[in-house]
Amino acid sequence: MRRHRNVKIVATLGPASNDYDMIRSLFEAGADVFRLNMSHGDHDDIRARHNIIRDIERDTGRPICILADLQGPKLRCGVFKGDEATIEEGAPFRFDLDAAPGDGTRVQLPHKEIFAALEPGKTLLVNDGKLRLRVDACGPDFADCTVVTGGTISNRKGVNVPDVVLPLAALSEKDRTDLEFVCDLGVDWLALSFVQRAADVEEARDLARGRAAILSKIEKPAAVDAFDDILAVSDGIMVARGDLGVECPVQSVPPIQKRLTRKCRAAAKPVIVATQMLESMIDSPMPTRAEVSDVATAIYEGTDAIMLSAESAAGSFPLQAVQTMNNVAEAVESDKTYREIIEASRASHLSTTADGIVAAAREIAETTDVQAICVFSHSGSTALKVARERPRVPIIALTPITGTARRMVLSWGVHMVETQSVERFKFAVVSAVRAAKAAGFAEASDQVVVTAGIPFNVAGSTNILRVAPCDERLIFGSEVD
């Protein structure tokens, strides 16, 4: 199944997309990656969705990527008498450790770590930033605040601390249990919520033990400040604009998104732009014009993937949401301006033999009559380098490793093919041209660029390139070995 676009679509599964027929329809409409949100549903629900995806993968013969999104340490206030209270602008309000139901003057905040890190002048945000309070005085078990933006506060609403690096464990006990569960299931990516520092990522990597790639969600100012260090130890990034837009000034989110996307591309690591991309389609079969522009902007920036959350998980129109994303992506990528922007943002990264090979492959493909770049990749690293180049022709990545085939589906423009191991370059070329023809990228009269590494089946050994005819008789009649 060939996509006629390069950017990938991530669709979150949930009550609205919970059976074989719907999930397969989402895949056929354009979903490349399915997200399992560990904040919703028990392990039986997650296992059932995972099994359905793998059944669809078997039935369609195409690798499908599965992303498990860990909940992360959720900070919430306690409960109120009557379930809610109103706090007025300018009024005092206290957070403390007392479990007694709250009122318009105080409520429990059952997180000692917050009190330990707070200082006078810091900000507390409640209910996705709708309520804002300034800390006037604090101690190990309280924070006396002044209400800056008032309103209704109700039971167990989320609390954000935007300008403080909290001394919280990177993974809650629930996250650790969920991580082990989904790694045993066989998911391809783990998304880490509320990452603050590189050490958070390293802890998750130690627990995953190579069973899944690690994707860091950037949704706190501390993560933006430490982004270079976080990117260095991550396999991929999600620009999670929901909490990021709560904790940062909302006007700063677009430039952060653009800056992080370019850094991920330079590092040859996939990046997802997420949250509220087609939010109105939870209840409407049509998006707003602003939402379409938002999706288009992320594609013009060169993001690897765009993500649907509640739109596909709980909305009334999950299939239409995926179709809309697919249509927007195809329209943007057919625009001449898209190629101009993508190529203007390309930088040189010639530090290894593989870098030189993939840069040459892209140059050859764009200056001669070549239909695709075919990459043999054991670990996926060479395919990532080709994707970083954002070539004008399709990328076909062949690997004998099922996990690599699934994981690489997330990357820009990469059409994954699981193939048998080969020991000679000539047979690698044959496998490449057969894959290109089978997927409709080329015909017998065409040519493709093939890259591989000698010796075969060794990660990071890419050192050979050939422009190959798609007529197998010409391949076997040559003297190339």
Tell which residue, 174, 225, 232, has the closest CA to residue 196: 225
76 classed as catalytic: yes
Instruction: Kindly report the CATH number assigned to the domain that includes residue 109.
Output: 2.40.33.10
The pairing of strands 271-274 and 236-240 is parallel
C-alpha separations of 176 from 170, 180, 235 in Å: 10, 6, 19
pLDDT of res. 481: 41
Q: Which of 106, 217, 220, 406 is catalytic?
A: 217
Q: Which of 76, 176, 211, 346 is catalytic?
A: 76
SS3 label, residue 36: strand
Which residues form the domain of 21? 8-72+170-335
Residues 66 and 87 reside in one and the same domain: no
pLDDT of res. 472: 85
Residues 98 and 206 reside in one and the same domain: no
For residue 266, which amino acid is it? A
- Which domain-ending residue is among 127, 160, 193? 160
Residues 18 and 155 reside in one and the same domain: no
For residue 226, which amino acid is it? A
- Which domain-ending residue is among 335, 362, 390? 335
Q: 347 in a domain, yes or no?
A: no
Q: 23 in a domain, yes or no?
A: yes
Residues 178 and 248 reside in one and the same domain: yes
Instruction: Kindly report the CATH number assigned to the domain that includes residue 453.
Output: 3.40.1380.20
pLDDT of res. 480: 42
Residues 305 and 395 reside in one and the same domain: no
Q: 40 in a domain, yes or no?
A: yes
Residues 264 and 317 reside in one and the same domain: yes
- Which domain-ending residue is among 160, 185, 216? 160
Report the distance separating Cα 126 and Cα 43, nearest Å. 29
For residue 374, which amino acid is it? C
**CA distance between the termini of the chain:** 31
Residues 67 and 113 reside in one and the same domain: no
Torsion over CA: 227, 64, 12, 303 (sign): positive
* pLDDT averaged over 10-residue windows placed end to end, the chain, 481 residues: 94 97 98 96 96 98 97 92 96 97 97 93 94 97 97 94 86 96 98 95 97 97 96 98 91 97 97 97 98 98 97 98 98 97 88 90 93 93 95 96 97 95 85 94 95 75 89 67 41
Sheet strands (E) in 161-319: 189-192, 213-218, 236-240, 271-274, 305-308
SS3 label, residue 298: helix
35 classed as catalytic: yes
Q: 348 in a domain, yes or no?
A: no
Residues 46 and 129 reside in one and the same domain: no
Residues 450 and 363 reside in one and the same domain: yes
Residues 265 and 372 reside in one and the same domain: no
Domain count, the chain: 3
Q: Where are the alpha helices (DSSP H) in 267-368?
A: 289-300, 310-313, 318-333, 336-344, 353-367
CB within 8 Å of 57: residues ≥ 6 apart = 63, 64
Q: Which of 5, 8, 12, 35 is catalytic?
A: 35
Instruction: Kindly report the CATH number assigned to the domain that includes residue 193.
Output: 3.20.20.60
Q: 345 in a domain, yes or no?
A: no
